[in-house]
Amino acid sequence: MSTSTTIRAKGDRLPLAALLALAMTGFICIITETLPAGLLLQMAQGLDVSTSLVGQTVTAYALGSLLAVIPLTIATQGWRRRNVLLLTIVGFLVFNSITALSSNYWLTLVARFLAGVAAGLAWSLLAGYARRMVPVRQQGKALAVAMVGTPIALSLGVPLGTWLGAAIGWRSAFAIMSALTLVLIVWVLAKVPDYPGQASHERLPLRRVFTTPGLRPVLGVVIAWMLAHNILYTYIAPFVAQAGLAAHVDVVLLIFGLAALAAIAVVGRLVDHYLRAAVLGSLAIFVVVSLLFIWLARVPAAVYVGVAVWGLTFGGAATLLQTALADTAGDGADVALSMNVVAWNGAIAGGGILGGILLDVLGVTSFPPALVLVLIIGFVIAWSARTHGFRAGARHTHVPGH
């Protein structure tokens, strides 16, 4: 993107109101995705289906994101950016409202799928939008602010859904999400700047973006890192049960979420000058934690400390990886970030599948060695991508188009 489309912030001040609107969009994406996990029993009763069928509303949401994100991102490349952002938010308003009102399971499932479509388009848009608001030297910090809604939602999503379901009912929980989107629409119109889409001659075809030097290594690291993370995160309950913490999974997840939130502030200071070191360091520390879990997974104190350190390594992952991806892709950043959505969600699904197989076949003690193996693969890919993908030094010295 050229500097002509970038807002030059006064001094080092970030446009916080606009960036936090993007963060709120990400928060709504995650909460909407995870709400049913905390409302399974109530939704099953309300829709008169089994809990396993209600569980498929989460699957439908993920499928919507996976299947639609790349074609929709390409189709909307020429649209003004705020119009695309508002389209995704209105999608949440409409489809969460349908979910809140529907008494038909299949209508609810379709609404969840389409909400996932809106989320996929939003995720492909947010990082590039945040980067356009500031000079290149501040893009990492801006992205860290725009991503702050993600760890908050990840740590609060399921417990918030459970609490809301008990307090006001599952339909009201989805209605609250619709109300939040109405507030967000006003917020975006008031505070978020608009930008033109890409002219037809500026748009890069999908294949050319995918073959950009360094892009595939970054996507490879995304898959390896998130696969390892989701094996452990998805099956955290049986894993911590080894240490007698089955009744304290909520505390474990809260510790993880708070640590991840703290990491965003740290990564926001590091990403513009030490992106490569931060990625390699995060992966290496996650490897060390996984190694320690091989021997100390039955020690409660070790589990709490290990989860906190794991959260610290994970909190900045979205900022680091999306920054590396967008820097590498240059003018193809929006398309590259849509590929990131596919890779990220594919790793979530893969973590659930692979973790389930490991749990059933080898038991929960197989998780740490599996994590070590997958993370070392990710570390080697990142280490090897020094020339393209994860470059050393300050970002502003090598970002194309600036």
Residues 6+ apart with CB under 8 A from 211: none
Residues (pLDDT < 50) of the chain are: 1-10, 401-402
Half-sphere exposure of 356 (CA within 13 A, CB side): 6
Q: What is the helix (H) or strand (E) element at residue 4, kind and residue range?
A: none
pLDDT for res 164: 79
The full DSSP string for 325-392 is HHHHHGGGHHHHHHHHHHHHHHHHHHHHHHHHHHHHHT-GGGHHHHHHHHHHHHHHHHHH-TTTTS-S
Rounded Cα gap, residues 265 and 285, in angstroms? 18
DSSP 169: -
pLDDT for res 161: 73
The full DSSP string for 146-160 is HTTHHHHHHHHHHHH
* Of 33, 35, 15, 25, the residue nearest 184 (C-alpha): 25
Rounded Cα gap, residues 147 and 124, in angstroms? 13
Q: What is the CA radius of gyration of the chain?
A: 20
pLDDT for res 288: 97
Task: Count other C-beta atoms under 10 Å from residue 209's C-beta.
Answer: 22
Report all structural domains of the chain as residue ranges with CATH numbers, in order of start: 13-202 (1.20.1250.20), 206-394 (1.20.1250.20)
pLDDT for res 202: 63
pLDDT for res 203: 63
Rounded Cα gap, residues 281 and 265, in angstroms? 16
* CA-to-CA dists, residue 114 to 90, 92, 244, 281, 372, angstroms: 11, 9, 40, 38, 36
- Predicted TM-score (pTM) of the model is 0.82
Is 93:105 a contact under the CB 8 Å cutoff?
A: no
pLDDT for res 178: 95
Residues 6+ apart with CB under 8 A from 355: 230, 231, 232, 234, 235, 367
Is 256:315 a contact under the CB 8 Å cutoff?
A: no
The full DSSP string for 203-239 is PPPHHHHHTSTTHHHHHHHHHHHHHHHHHHHHTHHHH
